[in-house]
A and B are shown apart, each in its own frame.
Chain A
């Protein structure tokens, strides 16, 4: 069975603080994909990153960075120097290679960045 757990329901930080959003996943597949999406109040899911199970190299994109560790089945997301515009709900998702983009989402972490 596939499962994604985001244990942090809500996080509040002050602008310019760094914040890490946790994601733990379960799968028996050897090949899979992990994603992070951002959902602002408008509701539309915005794609942030995709990582396949063969690539454990960490990635940095501007203020965003991702730490993928297969040994602990985690795919954590860090925002450096957070900004008010980062306030949103963030979802981690898992997809199987042979399952045609059927995504398994976590329950999301609501990030509040205060000025």
Chain B
């Protein structure tokens, strides 16, 4: 049973560019959440997708957008990259409707470096 997978593993981009990160949830899960983890910090919630719609959003600018596909996989897009966007981006999957009592499974993350 495959867990949460993310691609690519590492990515280097230049300021002003756009980037797309991908996530496949754990089998049986229908909800995907994205987190940004800056170096030395805890993960910060970006947004969550269920039924191909954004259900929750954290305190991130509109440069951060996402998408969920019918197979529950998800993409995170970041436009006009800034140096401060350099971070580990984590994807987490869970089963919708179970609230905070459900365990979230996290992927290995994508390390984004903006130069």
Contact = CB atoms under 8 A, between A and B. Distances in A.
A44 B109 CA distance: 7
Contacts, number: 81
Given A43-B88, A45-B43, A91-B42, A101 B100 contact: yes
B65 interface: no
Contact of A100 (B99, B105, B106, B107): B99
Interface size band for B: 20 to 34
Interface residues of A, number: 29
A63 interface: no
A43 B92 CA distance: 13
Nearest to A37: B106
Interface in A34-50: 37, 42-47, 50
A84 to B, nearest CB: 22
Interface of B: 31, 33, 35, 40-45, 48, 50, 55-56, 58, 88, 90, 92, 94, 96, 98-109, 111
